[in-house]
A and B are shown apart, each in its own frame.
Chain A
Amino acid sequence: MRRTFQLWLFIAVALSFAALFYLTYYLQTKEAFHTAENLIELRMEDAKKQIAINENNLKAVLDICNSSMANDVKAVAYILACAPAFATNSHKLEELRRVLGYDEIHVINKHGIIENCAIDPMIGNADKYVGFNLKLHAQSEPFVHGIGKPDFVLVQPPLPRGLDRKLFQYGGAARQDDEGIVQLGISVSFLEKAMENNSLATLSPGLRVGVGGEIMILRGEKIVGAARVDFEGRTLTSIGLDEKLINDICQGEGLLHTEIEGVKFFGVYIQSGDLTLIGVMPDSEVTRKRNGIALQLVISGLVLMLVVFLSVSKLVQTIVIDGIDRINVSLGRITAGHLDEKVEEDRSEEFRKLSGGINTMVDTLKGAIAAEKSRLNSELEFAKMVQESTLPQLHSDPRFQIFASMDTAKEVGGDFYDFFRIDDTHLAFLIADVSGKGLPAAMFMMNAKALLKSSLMASAGKPLDKVVASVNDSLCEGNDACMFVTVFVGILDLDTGNMTYVNAGHNAPILRRGNGEVSWLPVENGFVLGGMDSVSYTQEFISLSPGDGVLLYTDGVTEAMNRQLTLYGDDRLLALMQGPVMSSAPPDCVLTELKDDVENFVDGAPQSDDITMLFLHYLG
């Protein structure tokens, strides 16, 4: 029971711990990703602001440049109006260019053809430009539209030009001296620097999220800014994102789980103007705190679980199992037969009731056993009484002495003996052993004894074998239980010493002559009485002289058993009787000597059968 309880307790505690752990783990995971999402979003907001600031800065620089160029080109138009020589004279124009510090000045007529120009010799040859038709080039064509519009001013954004694709900016204004346009051009490499300074790539260090996370800025599918410099210029496909996710990223906002170069990342993506921002953090970093908490939880949980398990186990052991064990010990003693054992387990109401119940039950059982015992005892007592009440008595007679003894076993056997005078000269004596034990045997014994006595008393003149046969037939009537009795019966003529006898299945008696000669009395072994009717018996004769004796006994003597399970046996009996002591022992000592010898032999082993013996001593 303790084992089973501990097993279930362990399972219950372990399950609750597992459930608690799982719940905490789940919540912590959710919380970790939520926190990461917030952090990433915060960092993306910062990045967005930074991008906006960059853009504003660049715009301001460009605005300044543009407005300065617009003013300069209007000033050139004014100068041309005041001093028309500048329009036609290339040297003058070259001087003006140097003064103004521009790379190119073009004077364009009303047909959009360059009439005069000054070019920084470092860039090119002015002669090549003269005659160039603005209408023929996409870059210059917009200026043609200003021809004939006195207020026209146009400053183009810087555009890459030439083989080296350096940024170059053109501005133009309507000529005041004539219909046409005057153009200024300048290489804006300083703007390149400014634009570079303000490019998204320069945000790189500010794009970190946590330790291993970052924000990637995309234009289209191309990464234009990232904390990892090597990402710049690459596409999402090239860093390992799948197509569907890339589609989602380019079109809206949301959360993502993906692998970048073999590492698992969690991320958020949003759109900002024409840019897409992706903020990612490695899963391991997101869940680092959670893992720490989980580890602490596992350790503290295991300790807690152990404490709960041990204390509950101990508690139940103390409250329940010890009590049950104690009751079991008491029950074991009761089962072993100690009915006086009391169960005294009173640590709780339930145990008090259980103990009380068991005690009451044992008391009831004791009562029932006592009642049954007394019933049995009275039956046995009655049977014993029957057996013993019928022991014969005789007035002393100078012609013979007779001694008999019967030691009944604990359970009543069926031995009996009898002797009586049939008439003045005839003495009948017999010894018998009924099969079976207890009351039925006692009843059969009574019947047999009465039948034998009455038949023998009425036997005058009849042969003894016939008397015995008639007793047998009577005993067979209605003997369904197949009980039977072995009998040795003899009739001694007290005047002559002639003895007639019949043996019906009984042990052969021993004959002790007065001269010390001892031998088995020769017997014809007839069948037991009561076993089968119409059996015939044989009567035999022997002549006794004064001093001779006959010893009769039952198998309680020869089958007395010692602790080594050895039988006393016929041989030992004959040898004892033939021995120097018994062959001449006084008649009154024969039975006591024999009994002593049997008792010595069994040496305290319990007696299992009646021990009955009879010694007839003929005096003549």
Chain B
Amino acid sequence: MTYEITNPPPDLAVLVKGRLDTLTSPKLESELEPSIAKASSLVLDLAGVDYLSSAGLRLLLTLQKRFKREGGSFKLRNIQPGVMEILRMTGFLKILSVE
């Protein structure tokens, strides 16, 4: 998993590539923490993400709850078909905003 901050806070935008699983999700979360702390909105570009495990889902859930609590916005963009299927099946599409 690699990522790239394409737009700095407060309108944070991050491009993520690779798998979001048990190992990489906590890493992404902790490394993005300083930027997220300053962000009022976040767009995660999942163009390069081809697999999302339950740990990845948990990360999305954590971010969704956090921005909702603080009145910010959290959106996903460029979701790949495999990931889209997981989001659809688990009902995450019902609670997440997708561009």
Contact = CB atoms under 8 A, between A and B. Distances in A.
B61 A482 contact: yes
Contact of B58 (A433, A484, A508, A532): A484
Interface in B39-57: 54-55, 57
B61 A535 contact: no
A77 interface: no
Interface string B11-49: 000000000001000000000000000000000000000
A482 B92 CA distance: 14
Contact of A525 (B55, B58, B64, B90): B90
B58 A527 contact: no
Contact of A482 (B65, B90, B94): B65
Interface string B78-99: 0000000000111111110000
Interface string A479-500: 0001110100000000000000
B6 interface: no
B7 interface: no
Contact of A436 (B54, B64, B92, B93): B54
Interface string A414-444: 0000000000000000000101110000000
Contacts of A525: 88-91, 93-94
A300 B77 CA distance: 83
B58 A483 contact: yes
Interface in A480-532: 482-484, 486, 504-508, 525-528, 531-532
B2 interface: no
Given A482-B61, A484-B61, A532-B65, A435 B91 contact: no
B55 A435 contact: yes
Contacts of B93: 525
Contacts of A482: 58, 61-62, 65
A560 to B, nearest CB: 14
A527 B92 contact: yes
A435 B89 contact: no
Contact of A527 (B22, B62, B94): B94
Interface in A449-503: 482-484, 486
B90 A532 contact: no
A532 B65 CA distance: 8
A516 to B, nearest CB: 26
A435 B58 contact: yes
A527 B95 CA distance: 8
A527 B61 CA distance: 11
Contact of B91 (A433, A436, A437, A505): A505
Contacts of B55: 435-436
Interface range for A: 20 to 34
B58 A504 contact: no
Interface in A560-617: none
B51 to A, nearest CB: 9
Contacts of B91: 504-505, 525-528, 535
A477 to B, nearest CB: 14
Given A433-B54, A435-B54, A436-B55, A528 B90 contact: yes
Q: Which of A433, A436, A505, A508 has the most CB of B within 10 A?
A: A505
Interface SS of chain A: helix, strand, loop or mixed? loop
Contacts of A433: 54
B57 A435 contact: yes
Nearest to A411: B22
Contacts of A532: 61, 64-65, 95
Contacts of A506: 89-90
Contacts of B22: 437
A536 to B, nearest CB: 9
A470 to B, nearest CB: 17
Nearest to A530: B61
Contacts of A505: 89-92
Contacts of A527: 90-92, 94-95
A531 B61 contact: yes
Point out which of B61, B91, B94, B95 has the most chain A C-beta atoms below 10 A from its C-beta. B91
B77 to A, nearest CB: 21
Contacts of B58: 435-436, 482-484
A233 B65 CA distance: 120
Contacts of A437: 22
A527 B54 CA distance: 13
Interface string B59-74: 0011011000000000
A507 B89 contact: yes
Nearest to A433: B54
B85 to A, nearest CB: 8
A508 B64 CA distance: 25
Q: Name the residue among A433, A482, A526 with the largest chain B CB count within 10 angstroms.
A: A482
Contacts of A436: 54-55, 58
A435 B93 CA distance: 17
A437 B64 CA distance: 22
A115 to B, nearest CB: 144
Q: Which of A483, A528, A535 has the most CB of B within 10 A?
A: A528
B99 to A, nearest CB: 20
Contacts of A531: 61, 95
A166 B61 CA distance: 140
A484 B57 CA distance: 9
A380 to B, nearest CB: 16
Query: What are the 3 A-B residue pairs with the smallest beta carbon separation, nearest first?
Result: A527-B91, A435-B54, A505-B90
Interface of A: 433, 435-437, 482-484, 486, 504-508, 525-528, 531-532, 535
14 contacts: A435-B54, A435-B55, A436-B58, A482-B65, A484-B54, A505-B91, A505-B92, A506-B89, A525-B90, A528-B57, A528-B90, A528-B91, A531-B95, A532-B64
Interface of B: 22, 54-55, 57-58, 61-62, 64-65, 88-95
Given A484-B57, A484-B61, A506-B89, 8 more contacts: A436-B55, A482-B62, A505-B91, A527-B92, A532-B65, A532-B95, A535-B94, A535-B95
